[in-house]
Structure 1
Amino acid sequence: MGYDILIEETRAGLVENKHFGIICGINEMKKQIYQVGDSQQEVFFRSAAKPIQALPLFLTNIIEKYNITEEEAALFSASHRGESYHINALESLLNKLPVVEEDLFCPPSYPLNIEPREKMIGEGKTKRRLYHNCSGKHIGFVAVCRELGYPVANYWEQDHPLQQHIVQILSTLSEVPISEIKVGIDGCGVPVFAIPLHSMALTYLKFACPDLIDDSGLKDAVVKLTRTLNHQYNMIASEHFICSILLQDPNIVAKGGAQGVYGFGLKNERIGFALKVINGSEEVWPNIVASILEQIDYKNKETIHKLRLLKPSIVKNDSGIEVGTIKETFTL
């Protein structure tokens, strides 16, 4: 496996940790123009697939039919953190759509963010499927099944018509034949897909540049979906997370997944990027993405500045004393 060192963490001048990984950048000619490590490595999308998994819904008229707000629609692609505005919008979706919480296959849980989780536990509230970070995706799955006449039962199974629809969309966007897409089971129980990293970058290029999509219906759905992501950036994770910072830049379409996977596309530059931190760390995403944007001389310096604030290069201990550094070591 061809992995390079992306990040070195030091303490008192000694290297304390190294993060290995792979990066790929694809231009509008579908040529690989940036590479760190082996971009042919197959990588599971994890939650970076959520925009793809939401497309069957955006291909229908469900949003218009049920008067779904843009804020609510963003949750179909979200890894929400369980803040009050997430829960309120999820409750609203259940009130509007022909979906009940018991339909959802994602397991009951508490919110990912510490404050709402501790608040709920302190109030004696029990875990709910709605609090799971993938609940918006699952609500969308059930809504699509009911709209298209698919059985709701076993909608999470690989051979279910909804999951077959999703893998066909992925194949179209990534240009990887369905027979070559590896399928596993994600944390929430639905199929999760692995393709070469360069094909993942191509997928995010098409999110940023939907004019590259030949299918007009799919193109329109991508435009609608990505506009929603940019307008409702805090619904995708929450404040102070990399997805929210990148998506509030109208030039960027982005989504992260578990185990260190991240994908983003730049609209004006017409480049798609995908990366994988091999040890699964998500903490160094801001450093890696900031360095990528700096190395390509990205024009919106404010976006880079916000990423640097999210994960500073100076490491401080619990008392606020500087004790080390985080340094990017890769060159595109």
Structure 2
Amino acid sequence: MSTAVVMVEVQRGGLVESRHRGHAVVCDASGAVVAAWGDPDAVILPRSSVKMIQALPLIESGAADRAGLGVEQLALACASHQGAPLHVGKVGDWLATLGLDESHLRCGAQPTRDRDERQRMVRAEEAPCQLHNNCSGKHAGFLTLTRDLGAGPEYNEIDHPVQVAVRAAFEDVTGAASPTFGIDGCSAPNFATTMQGLARAMARFAVARPDTGDARGRAAGRLVQAMMAHPDLVAGQGRACTELMQAAEGKAAIKTGAEGVFTAILPEQGLGVALKIEDGAARASEAAIAALLVRLGVLQADDPAVRRRMAAPVTNWRGITTGEVRAVPGLF
């Protein structure tokens, strides 16, 4: 039986219409559980919530510096962007500095999530390309490391030197061997871990600093700083990661993943947060992560970006508010 607990309720007409269950863990850098809901030992695929882990070898190998990557490129390496012109242009420019182009990516074409760009492309009868893929920044990072290593072009293969390095970094920061992996939407391997392992990894990032410690710690510190410096590149206009990081004002790096996953890195407190909504609903994961970060003191409950997610209105086709998606009181 599932040990997940109710985290979010959907209310209509004074009744609870549906419930979303999940797991959440808060850890310190030693791996100790500070707070937990559900099962800390639940094994999940963290999906895009761990792109900062996947970017560690890019920096600690020296490949990022040898390629002259700046803070924007590091933020894009951690991004699940929405394929707006801002994102597409910067990833395209990054590839060009490597002497590469969109055809070298292995993430697949994906329609842009940016409304204005989507309408422009429809009018122009222009097809989306791999640069529009939300993972194109991560893949540009993989390509940068691939070129630096002199490795083959199929960097997504599980036995490719890039993915071998990613797995080693993943298992180090989570504190355990990964029991399995799945293939993500962008075709890269996604390694499984426990909820506690994921929270521990985020806490490792929380205590990392770009100017002190070992190579892995310095790399982690640079990635956290890049994410917090450029939340617009990590996701995009109207997206939860971007808006909640902006609301946190430098107190958190926040990252979503498919199927109801969120992670958060809290440098001032040295804490890491991992969240998984069991049914994969984004409306529930956004409500729950906002509530947890209010509880932890990095977000204010009355901030508009936070209110929109902790108690998101449900509207009908006439625009009438008919209910709300609300985090349960035990989370905040």
Q: Which amino acid aligns with 2:330?
A: T
Contact map agreement 1:82 1:111 (CA 8 A) in 2: yes
Q: Which amino acid aligns with 1:329?
A: V
Structure 1: gaps of 5 or more residues? none
Alpha-carbon spacing, 1:47–1:158, altered in 2? closer, same or farther (3 Å)? same
Aligned to 1:238: 236
CA distance in 2, matches of 1:2, 1:263: 20
Q: How far 1:246 moved relative to its partner?
A: 3.2
**Structure 2 SS opposite 1:331:** helix
Q: How far 1:307 moved relative to its partner?
A: 1.6
Q: How far 1:267 moved relative to its partner?
A: 1.5
Percent identity, aligned pairs only, is: 27
Aligned to 1:266: 266
Q: How far 1:117 moved relative to its partner?
A: 2.0
Aligned to 1:129: 130
**Structure 2 SS opposite 1:115:** helix
* C-alpha distance after superposition, 1:21-42 (max 9, x if no partner): 1111112442112111111110
Contact map agreement 2:287 2:327 (CA 8 A) in 1: yes
CA distance in 2, matches of 1:69, 1:293: 29
Alpha-carbon spacing, 1:327–1:246, altered in 2? closer, same or farther (3 Å)? closer
Alpha-carbon spacing, 1:312–1:15, altered in 2? closer, same or farther (3 Å)? closer
* C-alpha distance after superposition, 1:211-258 (max 9, x if no partner): 6xx970011111111111111111011022121123333111221110
Aligned to 1:256: 256
Aligned to 1:101: 102
Contact map agreement 1:5 1:330 (CA 8 A) in 2: no
**Structure 1 SS opposite 2:220:** helix
Contact map agreement 2:57 2:165 (CA 8 A) in 1: yes
Alpha-carbon spacing, 1:292–1:300, altered in 2? closer, same or farther (3 Å)? closer
Alpha-carbon spacing, 1:29–1:61, altered in 2? closer, same or farther (3 Å)? closer
Q: Which amino acid aligns with 2:316?
A: N
CA distance in 2, matches of 1:108, 1:263: 26
Using the TM superposition, name which of 226-235 and 62-71 deviates more: 62-71
CA distance in 1, matches of 2:302, 2:55: 26
Aligned to 1:325: 324
CA distance in 1, matches of 2:75, 2:290: 25
Q: How far 1:306 moved relative to its partner?
A: 2.3
Structure 2: gaps of 5 or more residues? none
**Structure 1 SS opposite 2:282:** coil
Contact map agreement 1:55 1:221 (CA 8 A) in 2: yes
| TM-score, length basis structure 1 | 0.91
CA distance in 2, matches of 1:100, 1:322: 46
Q: How far 1:321 moved relative to its partner?
A: 2.4
Aligned to 1:225: 223
Aligned to 2:45: 44
Contact map agreement 2:11 2:323 (CA 8 A) in 1: yes
CA distance in 2, matches of 1:21, 1:147: 40
Is 1:82 the equivalent of 2:80? Answer: no
Q: Which amino acid aligns with 1:292?
A: L
* C-alpha distance after superposition, 1:311-331 (max 9, x if no partner): 644433343323113232262
Q: For residues 11-26 of structure 1, what are the structure 2 equivalents within 5 Å?
A: 11-26=12-27
**Structure 2 SS opposite 1:166:** helix
**Structure 2 SS opposite 1:308:** helix
* C-alpha distance after superposition, 1:145-194 (max 9, x if no partner): 11122222x211111111010010011111112xx431111111110111
Contact map agreement 1:294 1:304 (CA 8 A) in 2: no
| TM-score, length basis structure 2 | 0.91
Contact map agreement 1:245 1:303 (CA 8 A) in 2: no
CA distance in 2, matches of 1:5, 1:299: 23
Contact map agreement 1:242 1:286 (CA 8 A) in 2: yes
Using the TM superposition, name which of 224-233 and 107-116 deviates more: 107-116
Q: Which amino acid aligns with 1:12?
A: G
**Structure 2 SS opposite 1:173:** helix
Aligned to 2:183: 185
Alpha-carbon spacing, 1:169–1:299, altered in 2? closer, same or farther (3 Å)? closer
